[in-house]
Amino acid sequence: MNIQMTDKELNALVSLLDDGDQEIKEHVRDKILSLGNQIIPFLENKWEGSFNPELQKEIEEIVHDMQLNLLKERLSNWKNSQERELLEGLWIVNTYLYPDLEFDQLNALMQQIYFDVWTNFKNELSVYDKIKLINNVLFNDLKFSANTKNFHSPANSMLKTVLETKKGNPISLCSVYLLVAKKLGLPVYGVNLPNLFVLTYQSGKFNFYINAFNKGLIFTKQDINNYLDHLKVDPKPEYYEPCENIEIIRRVIRNLIFSFEKIGDLDKSKEVNQLLKIVNQA
């Protein structure tokens, strides 16, 4: 379709968003949505050039719907992919609050952290010394820490914010740790505990756990037993064993839903519930 023609058509369509007839407005919305995300820059220009708050609100809602549709499509593709790369999954979830965030931007932030650990890393170190070294760089040098003040903030589920502020919740801090450990070739995995996400190092005779929310504290299976006992929760195999990347993304999405509910933003919690349905599909 010719660009000039498209602009003409779009100008006509967008002007109808201000129509008093609700039926016409709905029809126009559907028509604009059907044109796809490539017209978002055009809509943003129209928003900037408008002095009509009603029209601006309509444009904002359409752009948001388009971005949400793109996110859902990406998440579905990620779920159906063989790799299910963790960083890619986290980036897709991040685009809910940061729709303009490019994967390369997030990857560059992660690469810098990995580089800071890697420059101190030596393969001849013992297993525990390798973990202590990661702990030292992440929690002492780079100052990553638990966000206990704003524990329920939606930002805690956004890797972008966590990498910039160096504060996060258990699963986001574990994700940073896990991405670094995997790149170093270490057998580190996520573990889904009730109310807490931790990591495990599993290789041969080495089998222990790491709490990234507590500066990389190393603990044992017995500590998990005590924790479950304290919660009055029956032990299940998944409380001790590595989980898949899709489980990590599922938990990040659940945390996000809970965060929005906690701050009373029920519209956003409903939208994020749609993302949970995508990852839960058989």
For residues 122 and 237, membership in a common domain is answered with yes
For residues 51 and 132, membership in a common domain is answered with no
Q: Pick the last residue of a domain from 45, 80, 115.
A: 80
Rama region for 82: left / alpha / beta (φ>0; ψ in -120 to 50; rest): alpha
For residues 131 and 228, membership in a common domain is answered with yes
For residues 29 and 74, membership in a common domain is answered with yes
For residues 30 and 99, membership in a common domain is answered with no
Query: Per-residue pLDDT for the chain (282 aa), expressed as one digit of tens each?
Result: 334 446 888 888 888 888 777 888 888 889 999 888 889 989 999 999 989 998 999 999 999 999 999 999 999 999 999 999 999 999 999 999 999 999 999 999 999 999 999 999 998 999 999 999 999 999 999 999 999 888 889 999 999 999 999 999 999 999 999 999 999 999 999 999 999 999 999 999 999 999 999 999 999 999 999 999 999 999 999 999 999 999 999 999 999 999 999 999 999 999 999 999 999 997
For residues 137 and 271, membership in a common domain is answered with yes
Rounded-to-integer distance, Cα 151 and Cα 200, Å: 23
For residues 25 and 138, membership in a common domain is answered with no
Task: Check residue 282 and give its pLDDT.
Answer: 75
For residues 114 and 58, membership in a common domain is answered with no
Number of independent structural domains in the chain: 2
Rounded-to-integer distance, Cα 26 and Cα 19, Å: 10
Q: Pick the last residue of a domain from 20, 46, 80.
A: 80
For residues 69 and 152, membership in a common domain is answered with no
Rounded-to-integer distance, Cα 48 and Cα 39, Å: 15
Rounded-to-integer distance, Cα 125 and Cα 129, Å: 6
Contact 180, 158 (CB under 8 A): no
For residues 202 and 270, membership in a common domain is answered with yes
User: Which residue segment(s) compose the domain that 230 sits in?
Assistant: 86-280
For residues 93 and 198, membership in a common domain is answered with yes
Q: Pick the last residue of a domain from 38, 64, 80.
A: 80
For residues 212 and 98, membership in a common domain is answered with yes
